[in-house]
Amino acid sequence: MKSATRSASTPLFSTLNAGSPPVGGISKRGFDILAASLALVFFSPLFLLLMALVKFSDGGKVFYGHRRIGHNGQSFHCLKFRTMRQDGDRLLQDYFQQNPAAYEEWRQTRKLQDDPRITLVGGVLRKLSLDELPQLINIIRGEMSVVGPRPVVEDELEMYEAAAVFYLQTRPGLTGLWQVSGRNDVSYASRVAMDTHYVKNWSLVSDFLIVARTVPAVCLSRGSY
């Protein structure tokens, strides 16, 4: 099932209208553009400071763009401040060979509570969710939304099984119901259920409420690693 997001002829896409607009339509998109633009202006001093911290911490690249799956299966590069060592892929494979339990954790959740790739600065950025600020650019581009399911990679979408059709009906979000409900402290099945509930019951009011709940969730670093 590796090719689930690569072809419009696959079963996953057979239930979707490739030209269908994302959930929320014009009202949600208007809110996204306004909120992301204002946030970029407001956070611009912090944005520049974080760019300098990442750059001078090890001299590597400031931004990292990872291929994710968006609305109707369109792939895009989800932007983040780089929080990992530049030899992270090799380091991760070596770590899995020495730690089978870590590989099982990764296989089930696509996360590691103790990730050997994370830099010192990166750990702080992740704890405070500041590494995700560049996704404001993804929102303005129309690749993401302020609120929605967190963007996933192709292999991860397979874990949604039949619920993948709901994920694909909306733009992935900078924050979402999962983000404010425990994040990595909840099971992946719960995450899928939250994403499905969000899409089925979307309203602009629910987006406002999730944004409001995001502030304390980030400040308390609930489930963030």
Per the CB < 8 A criterion, the answer to whether 36 and 136 are in contact is: yes
CB count within 10 Å of CB 147 equals 30
Helix, strand, coil abundance in the chain, percent, nearest 5: 55, 10, 35
Per the CB < 8 A criterion, the answer to whether 148 and 176 are in contact is: yes
pLDDT tens digit sequence for 155-210? 889 889 999 999 999 999 999 999 888 777 788 899 999 999 999 999 999 999 99
Does residue 104 fall inside a structural domain?
A: no
Does residue 97 fall inside a structural domain?
A: no
Rounded CA-CA distance 48/180 in Å is: 27
pLDDT tens digit sequence for 102-153? 888 888 877 788 888 899 999 999 888 899 999 999 999 999 999 999 999 9
Total domains in the fold of the chain: 1
Between the alpha carbon of residue 143 and those of residues 39, 43, 47, 137, 173, the distances in Å are 17, 20, 20, 9, 9
Structure tokens at 111: 């996360």
H or E stretch covering 67: strand 63-69
Does residue 196 fall inside a structural domain?
A: yes
Does residue 63 fall inside a structural domain?
A: yes
H or E stretch covering 173: strand 173-175
146 lies in which domain range?
22-83+118-220
Does residue 29 fall inside a structural domain?
A: yes
Does residue 99 fall inside a structural domain?
A: no
